[in-house]
Amino acid sequence: MKTNSINNKFIYLFIFLFTFGLYANSISNGYSFDDNLITDNFQQKKSFADIFTSFSFVNKYKNISFAYRPVVLASFAIENLFVQNNPAVSHFVNVLLYAIICMLIYYLFSLLFPDINKFVFLATIIIFIVHPLHTEPVNNIKSRDELLTALFGVLTLIQYFKFLKNKKIISIVLVIIFSLLGIFSKLSFLVYLALIPAIYLIFTEKVKAKHLIFFGFLFIISFLSLRIAKHFLLNHDTFIRHYEFFENPLYQMPFLQRIPAGFHIPLYYFFLLFSPFKLSFYYGYNMIPIYNWSNLLPYVGILFFGLLVYLFFKTRRKYPFLSFGIAILLINSFAVSNIMILLPGIVAERFFFLGVLGFAMIVAYFIYRIFVKFNWIKEGRFRSSLIFVFLILIFSSPFIYKSYTRNQDWKSSESLVKADIPHLKNAAKANETMGAIYFSQFRKTHDRDYLIPAKKYYLQCVKVYPEYGAAWNNLAFINQFFGNWAKAEEDYLQAYKCNPKNAILLFNLAKFYQSQNKPQEAKQYYKEAIFVNPDVPDLIPYLKLFIVKENLIDEFIPYLKNIIHTNDNYMLQLLLIDLYNEKKDYNQMILQLNETYKKYPTEQLKQYKKEINRIFKK
């Protein structure tokens, strides 16, 4: 039986079932690392329109907002129409998307390379499915953005190739639609658009200017659409996220200085392609070395890129399947290099989602050609090809085992961090995260025993990176809890030195000095806290009690008015009303209440106005 006579339906069914078989144990997982970016932010969206008119990820207590990925949040909105806040459903959807992507890749191969053995495609898809680098985007609910980007990316490539063959306008229309859906899922969709010229160079004999213009048009319309939407739809009063040094030291380097590191970083991904057995939820400062030109590795990276470019052009006519795999590896490697676009964490497994496909294509094709050359299988014969796929499964068994067990690591944030922390002792972020997990357990249970390991990991964090303000802040709380007041003050001030604009820290400092009967110091930090961010939980109630106790009403009223004048805030307006009430200046209280109600016609103020009117009528 000839291999190409096999019904594709059976292959699609195998891909679907194989994907679900490997990732079935992930569906029962709970929420894990960074999933709160989705769950918390989705709950803040009051309507479907909010998804398209606000940043996707917002933390109002830390004054940060970032990323505009409305298609991703829309997928969760649709999911929540049926089942709300159920991680099992979200995990199921992720696995389903992954299976669909894998089937679409097989379909894309069938279109691009009709003369190649189908079982080479299947072997490629198997390696792609089982590779452990994909456990992050599949298990991490937040990483659905990578899956949706891949989905629309592959659909875009399918429609573009159909246009090359049939010249139908509908194909171009679909290319544009899928491109817009992709770019509104995540900016990394540009990697898929960059593959369009590669397909064009592989499958056309003569380069035409009009096609080059089309490539440019597609890039521009996708990128500009995103920029225009962000400009006109987003609230630009929000605070944009600024990345810390420990997340990626390259953020603080000039462009020319980060180039040598950019040539080295893809080599780390290349290593992970062959040896993905020590994976981490975090890669970053002190884990990925930042080399300059005095080290050999940046030059090796240049040779690596040069070799890929050479092999692409060398193979594009005679070995198009191999050439396409090289192009994928080359483009994704450049995208993750941090040369043009800086990435949080320096390295992340999810960033190389597409690169794994290029790797799988190259490996599967080489193994197949070796088997044919030595007559271990007969080219085009069904039984021989089936043996080839079976051997690929055997060769991939270490990857299968690693992926299956890695799914279990992703059961929760705690299980993930505990699985990785043994090889992340020199990672500041990882130690802070481990400390935060124990600290959170203390918050939930009030069991002081959790503070002992929390302190251990926070100390290791600041040992690795002494400027880690959040770790110093929590160390201060722990020392304060155990009555070590002098050390607590020292740690709080160290945290303040690291991050003087952190409203939560400022609030903690104010409460600390208040507990030490130092009202002048407490007043200073209360003022700084409400200036930075008055929306920190419990800040306004604590401040009101402090103001009244210390008889500071006359001092704070003009201070609050000054802040409101430059940066109006509902919570500050309420505090101002309360202070006039405490002062028994009822005329000013009513004036302030009416003024606030005009700006913020909330139900709370409406009821407050009714009560005030009722009292004064008496």
| Closest to 478 (Cα-Cα) out of 505, 457, 498, 451 | 451
Mean pLDDT taken over the chain? 90
State whether residue 88 is helix, strand or coil. Answer: helix
pLDDT-based confidence at residue 336 (cuts at 50, 70, 90):
very high
The residues, any chain, with a CB within 8 Å of residue 296's CB and separated by 6 or more, are none
| Closest to 95 (Cα-Cα) out of 151, 146, 139 | 139
Average pLDDT over residues 278-298: 91
Rounded Cα distance, 190 and 176, in Å: 13
Query: What is the model's pLDDT at position 244?
Result: 78
Per-residue pLDDT reduced to its tens digit, 151-194? 999 999 999 999 988 889 999 999 999 999 999 999 999 999 99
Query: What is the model's pLDDT at position 221?
Result: 85
Query: What is the model's pLDDT at position 1?
Result: 47
pLDDT above 70: percentage of residues in the chain: 94
* Residue 64, strand partner residues: 59
C-alpha to C-alpha distances, 169 to 160, 252, 593, nearest whole angstrom: 11, 46, 60
Rounded Cα distance, 451 and 482, in Å: 10
Residue 342 has φ and ψ, to the nearest 5°, of -80, 140
pLDDT-based confidence at residue 215 (cuts at 50, 70, 90):
confident
- Pull the structure tokens for residue 115: 């003369």
Burial class (CB in 10 A: 0-12, 13-18, 19+), 238: middle
- Pull the structure tokens for residue 421: 């922390």
Rounded Cα distance, 302 and 299, in Å: 5
Indicate the CATH number for domain 415-617. Answer: 1.25.40.10
Cβ atoms within 10 A of the Cβ of 90, count? Answer: 23
pLDDT at 222 over 90: no
3-state SS record for 464-487: HCCCCHHHHHHHHHHHHHCCCHHH
pTM above 0.75, yes or no: yes
C-alpha to C-alpha distances, 497 to 222, 502, 522, 523, 524, nearest whole angstrom: 42, 10, 17, 18, 15
pLDDT at 60 over 60: no
Rounded Cα distance, 220 and 200, in Å: 18
* Residue for token pair 């080479």: 120
Per-residue pLDDT reduced to its tens digit, 117-156? 899 999 999 999 999 999 999 999 999 999 999 999 999 9
Average pLDDT over residues 79-84: 86
Rounded Cα distance, 543 and 276, in Å: 51
Identify which has the larger pLDDT, 358 or 211: 358
Query: What is the model's pLDDT at position 133?
Result: 97
Query: What is the model's pLDDT at position 59?
Result: 60
**Under 8 Å between Cβ of 189 and 152:** yes
Query: What is the model's pLDDT at position 466?
Result: 95
pLDDT at 208 over 80: no
* Residue 66, strand partner residues: 57
Identify which has the larger pLDDT, 334 or 378: 334
Burial class (CB in 10 A: 0-12, 13-18, 19+), 480: buried
Burial class (CB in 10 A: 0-12, 13-18, 19+), 64: middle
Average pLDDT over residues 369-373: 87
Query: What is the model's pLDDT at position 385?
Result: 76
Query: What does the angle CA 154 – CA 157 – CA 163 come to, to the nearest 5 degrees?
Result: 145
Residues spanned by CATH 1.25.40.10 within the chain?
415-617
Rounded Cα distance, 534 and 525, in Å: 12
